[in-house]
Amino acid sequence: MSNLKNKKILVTGGAGFIGSHLVKRLVENKAKVSVIVKYNSIIDCPRLVKIWDKINIIEADLRNTDSVKEMNNLRFDYVFHLAAYNHVGDSFKHIFENVNSNLLSTVNLLNHGPKIKKFIHMGTSEIYGIQKKIPFDVKEKPNPMSPYGVTKYASELISILKSKQTKLDLLCLRPFNTFGPYQSEKAIIPEIILKCLQNKEIKTTEGKQTREFNYIDNIIDGLLFINNKIKHSIDPINIGSNKPIPIKNLVKKIHLYSSSSSKLKIGSLKYRPNEIWKMQANNKFIVSKGWKPKISFDLGLKITINWYQNFYETYLNKNSLFKKL
């Protein structure tokens, strides 16, 4: 990715799971990286601690118009917009936070923020919701089933509208489920891994619903690959493997690879209302451009389990900074 050298790049959500991995990759490629973080939060972020001296920290609250206006005199070649409230289940209990973090932040950034040459909007596969056609194609009408999915779709539409009005170069990316080191324990894979490492009982639904899970390095590869290949497109682009797995099989793999003695109680929980039974990416477009995942699901899962094993004691410490991920 030599095209990134000396590029001035802003990453919102750069202290988050996917964002921090992106920031590290951009730094490796000699980009001049700025990261927006909430006020007084950077000291609590273990994800970026090793590269603090290689990035520019901008303390701002994207939900606050006046805060965003303070960046109006800045200029960037690329803005990777990843900042979001991103927990699907919790989004039903925090609807206003979803609106503010996922939609208002985008409105503020595009209308009151820095001067931008190209805006890369990071969406989500949750935009699709329940679809009749599998795998999910960007041509299908979105049907989000959570406040998170709804607000992320609205954010995407606002970005497209702004691009049409101002001729701003734009990419709207829809990555599918992602996993890897430094992910919050609220996500299903680290949640199951940590329970397995503690040999705790694991309760799940029957696990017939299928998801594809993409190792973080593959998603970052895809993001940077398509940014390099495509200057502008208002048509969303899926990033995913198109290789789904039933949730019950996912749980069994984690149990096996972690050598856990946890008791598995598959089928002991009820499915969520409005459960999305299948979530799978139609990735023909990005594959046709020359991208493909480099790390298999099983290898990525083993790498991730090994990482959590190394940080196991840290995660269990209730005062650990990892509890803030």
pLDDT of residue 294: 97
Task: Encode the chain in three state secondary structure.
Answer: CHHHCCCEEEEECCCCHHHHHHHHHHHHCCCEEEEEECCCCHHHCCCCHHHHHHCEEEECCCCCHHHHHCCCCCEEEEEEECCCCCCCCHHHCCHHHHHHHHHHHHHHHHHHCCEEEEEEEECCHHHCECCCCCCECCCCCCECCCHHHHHHHHHHHHHHHHHHHHCCEEEEEEECCEECCCCCCCCHHHHHHHHHHCCCCEEECCCCCEEECEEHHHHHHHHHHHHHHCCCEEEEEEECCCCEEEHHHHHHHHHHHCCCCCCEEECCCCCCCCCCCEECECCHHHHHCCCCCCCCHHHHHHHHHHHHHHCHHHHHCCCCHHHHC
pLDDT of residue 275: 85
Domain limits, the chain: 2-179+214-242+280-294, 188-209+244-275+299-324
pLDDT of residue 38: 81
pLDDT of residue 258: 97
Please give the CATH superfamily to which domain 2-179+214-242+280-294 belongs: NAD(P)-binding Rossmann-like Domain (3.40.50.720)
Residue with tokens 């935009």: 127
Answer CATH for 188-209+244-275+299-324 from 2.40.160, 3.90.25, 2.60.40, 3.90.930? 3.90.25
125 and 137 Cβ atoms separated by less than 8 Å: no
pLDDT of residue 316: 64
pLDDT of residue 201: 97
pTM: 0.94
pLDDT of residue 204: 95
Residue-by-residue pLDDT tens, the chain, 325 positions: 558 999 999 999 999 999 999 999 999 999 999 999 887 665 567 888 889 899 999 999 999 999 999 999 999 999 999 999 877 767 778 788 888 889 999 999 999 999 999 999 999 999 999 999 999 999 999 999 888 999 999 999 999 999 999 999 999 999 999 999 999 888 999 999 999 999 999 999 999 999 999 999 999 999 999 999 999 999 999 999 999 999 999 999 999 999 999 999 999 999 988 888 999 999 999 999 999 999 999 999 999 999 999 887 666 665 555 555 5
Would you say the C-alpha torsion 252, 256, 257, 261 has a positive or negative sign?
A: positive
